[in-house]
């Protein structure tokens, strides 16, 4: 396999990873928008009842907080995976340049 073929394969792999990461980022943004809307609704409900929180409202807040933590963990995990793939690609690129 020639260097140009290897570089082309690396470029295609990186493009594929970037597309998948972009799709995941869009999904994450949609989830965050959904969470923001729910938080807004909860705030409106709390304002309506003059700050008196029912047990159901507290459960919703707790669930939303948990969901946000999980989403943040997902993003950090995906960012870590993207970093690992980038490191591998850099390693392959460095090997290709050394062989020239």
Could you tell me if 10 and 86 are in contact, meaning their C-beta atoms sit under 8 angstroms apart?
Answer: no
Q: 35-82 pLDDT, tens per residue?
A: 889 889 888 887 776 556 567 778 888 999 999 999 888 877 877 777
pTM: 0.41
Domain count across the chain: 1
Tally of residues, the chain: 100
Going from the C-alpha of 94 to that of each of 22, 75, 98, the distances in angstroms are 26, 28, 6
Look up tokens 């909860």; give the residue: 42
Q: 16-41 pLDDT, tens per residue?
A: 999 999 898 999 889 888 988 988 98
Could you tell me if 35 and 67 are in contact, meaning their C-beta atoms sit under 8 angstroms apart?
Answer: yes
Residue 7 domain boundaries = 3-99
């Amino acid at each position: 396999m020639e260097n140009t073929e290897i570089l082309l394969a690396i470029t295609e792999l990186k493009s594929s990873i970037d597309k998948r990461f972009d799709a995941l980022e869009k999904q994450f943004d949609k989830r965050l928008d959904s969470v923001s809307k729910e938080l807004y609704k909860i705030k409106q409900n709390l304002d309506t009842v003059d700050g008196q929180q029912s047990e159901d409202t507290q459960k919703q807040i707790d669930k939303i907080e948990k969901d946000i933590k999980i989403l943040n963990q997902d993003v950090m995990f995906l960012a870590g995976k993207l970093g690992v793939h980038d490191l591998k690609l850099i390693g392959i690129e460095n090997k290709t340049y050394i062989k020239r």
